[in-house]
Structure 1
Amino acid sequence: MKAFILDRYKKKGALRFGDMPEPALQDDDVLVEIHAAGLNLLDSKIRDGEFKLILPYRPPFILGHDVAGTVVRVGSKVRQFKPGDEVYARPRDSRVGTFAEFVALNEADVALKPKNLTMEEAASIPLVGLTAWQVLVERAKLKKGQKVLIHAGSGGVGTFAIQLAKNLGATIATTTSTANIELVKSLGADVVVDYKKEDFAKVLSGYDIVLNSLDRETLEKSLVVLKPGGKLISISGPPDVAFAKEIGANWFLQQVMRLLSFGIRRKARRHRVSYSFLFMRANGEQLSQITALIEAGDIRPIMDRVFPFEATNEALTYIEAGRSKGKVVVKVR
C-alpha cells in the first residue's frame, strides 16, 4: 500500500512517499480502508524528534493520528463492527499510521462515523475531540456555570473545546487574533481576547479552568487568571510525574518529568491552584459520545483546507505555519 513514511527523525524533514506492507490484523482489530486523514501538530513534533523520550517509535514507520474510512475486514474477536461500516478513530500511540491507504485499529479505539459528516469532516475530529473531552469532561469535570479559558480558540483543539464547553453550560473566554474573533464568537465564546491588542492576564480573572495549548510564557501567565482551587491543564507540556506513571515510565524518566514540571508546579502551588499535563489517548467509547453531540447538531467540524493525499508534506508545512482555522485534512480516496 502507498504511505507517507518517516525514515528518520529530522526537524522539518519530509516524509517519504512509498510502499509499505498492508498492516497485519490481530484478533480484536478492524482493518480500515482510509478515505481521509486529519493532520495535527503532534505529527510534526514526532517527525522532529520531540517525543522520542515518551513515544519510542522505531523508524521507518507511518505517521498520522486521525482517520475516517470504511471497515474492510475484522478480526475473529471483533463484535462491534463489520465490513462496510463507516468509522472514524484516533489510533492508540503504539499503532499510529493514518497517512496510508489502510490502517489496522483495535476495535476499542473506533466509533461509527457521524452520519451527518463527510469522510473529510469526520477525519478532522478524533484527536481534537478526544483532547477536548479528556481535558474538560474527564480531568476538569467542567460544570454548568463554571468559567473556562481556552487558549488559541481558532485552532483545531480550540474550535472543538469552545463548542464542548458551551454544551456543558460553561462561560467561555478564549484568545485569538483579530481575523478570527467572529469565528470563535459563532462557536460560543463569551469573552474574546485579541492577543495582538490585549494581554489576557490583565483582563481576565476568577476562572475555574484554563486549557493551555501554547508556550511556556502563556502557561505561566495563565496562573493569574485562575481563582484559588482552579485547574491549569496543559496539552503542550511540560509533562509531569503523574503522566510519567500513567505511561509506565521508568524511575529515571519519572525524575526527568518531575524536574521538567517542577517550576510550573511550584508556581501553581503559590497561586493555590493545580497544574497537570494531559496527553490524550485513544478511546472509542468517548468518541461515540462525541458522535452523538455531532449528530444532534451541538458540535460542528471546523475545516480549514483539504489537501490531496500526495500533498501530505505540503499540508504538514501549512499547519506548522500556525495560521489554519480549525483542522487540515488529506483526502486519501
Structure 2
Amino acid sequence: MEYRQLGQSDLNVSVVTFGAWAAGGWMWGGTERKDAVRAIRASYEEGVTSIDTAPIYGQGTSEEIVGEAIKGIPRDKVQILTKFGMRWDLAQGDFAFKSQNNHGKDIDIYKYAGKASIIKECEDSLRRLGTDYIDLYQIHWPDSTTPIAESMDTVETLIKQGKVRYAGVCNYNADQLQEARQHVHLVSDQVPYSMVKRDIEAVDLPYCIDNGLSVLAYSPLERGLLTGKMKPGHQFAPGDHRAGLYFYKDENLKRTNAFLEKLHPLAVAKNASLSQLVIRWTIEQPGITIALVGARNAEQALQNAKAAAIQLTKEEIVFITTELNKLVLEK
C-alpha cells in the first residue's frame, strides 16, 4: 500500500481509502452487516488504514459497522474520516431530497450545519464509531442557511477539545474553500471525480493544488460504471439510486464498455482488472491525493486495495487519457 500526507497535517492516509457509503446499505438496496464488517477488515489486512463514512449512510448504520470493524485494531493504526451536516431526524436547513431508510420508511434529508447540530452529530458519531476522536471531520454538503463561519468555528472548537484532529469539507467549490479557510485549518476537499466526471479540473482542483489542500476523490469507479461489468439492460435492486442516473443508460453503458475494452490489453499486461487500472489512473492525476472506493464484501475490498500496487508509466497514463478524451456520454 502507498500512503500520502493529507494536506498540511500529520495524517498519512492510504491512497485507496475504504468508502463506507455502500456498506451502510442506504440507497444501495440494503446491506449485509457481516459482509460489510469483513470487507473493512479485509481492506485493513491489505494495508487500507483509512475509512470514510458518514452518519447519513444508513442513518447511523455505516458508522456502527465501521466501529465494529475496527474493534481490536490499535486506534492510531486507522484513520477515521466522517462527516456532519446531513440530517434525516431534523427538519432544518436546506431541504435536500426525499428518500427511504433501510427499512423502507420515508425520510426527508436536510443539509444543515448549525453549531448545536454539529456538536450533537459529533457526539453521536463518536458513540457509534466507538472512539473518542475523529481524524478528519468534514461538512458533507454546503448549507446555504448557515454561515460558513459558524460551521467552521464550531469544528475549530471540536479540534481544541480533542474530539476532532483535522477539518475537511466535501463538495465545496474554490470560493467556499477560500471562505472556510479563514476560520479553520482546512486540510482537504472531498469531491466527486472519475474518468467520466472531471469538471473539478477547471477551477477547484487547481485551487486545492495551489493552497496545499488534499483532494479526496469519491466515486472513482462512478458507482460501478467503470468496472466494465455492467451491460446494457442491467437491472438494479429496489432502492438502488443508480437506476435513474444518466450514466447507466444503455447507450452510455455501450460507449463506456467500448472505451474500457481499449484498456483491456494494458490491464492484462499489468495482471490487473479494469477496475484496478481505473483506480490507479485516478490517484495518478495531479492533485488527487486518494481515491475512496466502496465494497460490499471482502473480495471486492481486496481487489480495490490491490490497485495501489499497480505501476503505470507516463506513456501508459497518456495512452489511457487520450482514449478517455474520445469518450462522450449522453446526458
Taking structure 1 as the reference length, the TM-score comes to: 0.27
Which has the larger share of helix?
2
TM-score by length of 2: 0.27
Higher strand proportion, which one?
1
